[in-house]
Structure 1
Amino acid sequence: MPLTRNTEPDITLVTVQPEDFETLVAIRIEAMRESLERVGRFDPVRARERFREGFSASSTHYIQIAGSKVGFVVVKPTSDGLLLDHLYIKPAVQGQGIGAAVLRQVFAQADATASTVRVGALKESDSNRFYVRHGFQLVESGEFDNYYLRPPRFEGAPMASINVRIDDDLKTRAYLELERLGATPSELLRQTLQYVAERGQLPSMMTDEDEALLATVRERLASPQRVKVSLHDL
């Protein structure tokens, strides 16, 4: 059922059955194909095998609109919250707010217990921008995938949780700045941003004497509200 741009998608999540595996694989391959072909990694056999390895029917839900299956989502419990293991929307209905509607349900589940939500995304996939736009923060960048975390959301958060959120926010900003650099104006700047993207803090050898580089890093990463709270104390 096509949605107009201003229509709020009314989605229903329906638990799948073990015998739905082949249908799910077909949706996964259809949704991933363009991104994987772009990086020369499209392999439907491998996609099927990898999905089979972690398949859990009880953690998997069809995304339905007016009874029509438009994708599926897999959410699994972890030691510190939830893992958004898969989220696939059929290409024909992408860009209509369906993914955002699914995230709202996942976030509501996580927020009920003040839990984190983790997710991974292929580096070249448009899903990276989607997750950052919805509050996920980069915590690790692997060879092929980026890994994100949405910190717990609850009132009266202890300072430790606030600090984690600040550090993860710095990682995300540093990663995005690395993508924007293009031609390298300074290898030291690139190395510093890479360090921050991976660890959420400046290298220990950085001192206030490195005024030029520090000023550049602060300018690229810091909002006025966070300079005093975070970068000033690094």
Structure 2
Amino acid sequence: MPAIEDSAARTAPPSGLRERKKRRTRDTLIRSALELFSLKGYERTTVDEIAEAAEVSQRTFFRYFANKEEVALAMQTSVDALFLATLRSRPAAEAPLPALRGAVLDTWEGAGEVIESVVPLELHMRTYRMIESTPQLLAARLRKLSEVEEQLTREIARREGLDLGADPRPHVLVAAFGGVMRVTARIWGERGEGGLEDLRLLTVAYLDQLGPALAGNWRA
């Protein structure tokens, strides 16, 4: 028995190689799905077609994604993870709103590279608009954003040493921040044109209005 186990260990691919293969398969599924969505539309694209385009089985598709929604939102999920990691790396002494704004700017710096490692940036932006204009995907995206905002709230509370059960400020701040992010995505999507830089500039412009809008005298 030990000899058999040793032989199996020698013939199995190294764990690093396995992970790279899994990453390539996942990326191929995402790229194939987004290309088909762009060509045929989300509703008219089937999981079988995605698997065929990626040259894998339907069973392999479901190893990586639970459904079409998940693969459609995969790149947004990756950017969300980058944003959360970036916020956690901001200076500890930074106030909550500047930390969120700084994390947004830092995320924009790295988002393009993260996206283009999987799909062309132009395809990602078409997908972004598709999500905004597809009720099923938009609902799924909003559910995901609710989870992200909960994580942001906990991180802000941790940074500030606050008890969320006793202090509502992290919830209030993140709710306002999340609202800005959602409204800029909607406005950008409705314009029907512009790239990642246009979305970044719109987001920053609206974030810079957050403090004055909440605390300022609008009639002054």
Which is richer in strand?
1
Place the TM-score, normalised by the shorter chain, in its bin. Answer: 0.3 to 0.5
Higher alpha-carbon Rg: 2
Asked which structure has the greater RCO (Cα within 8 Å, sep 6+), the reply is 2
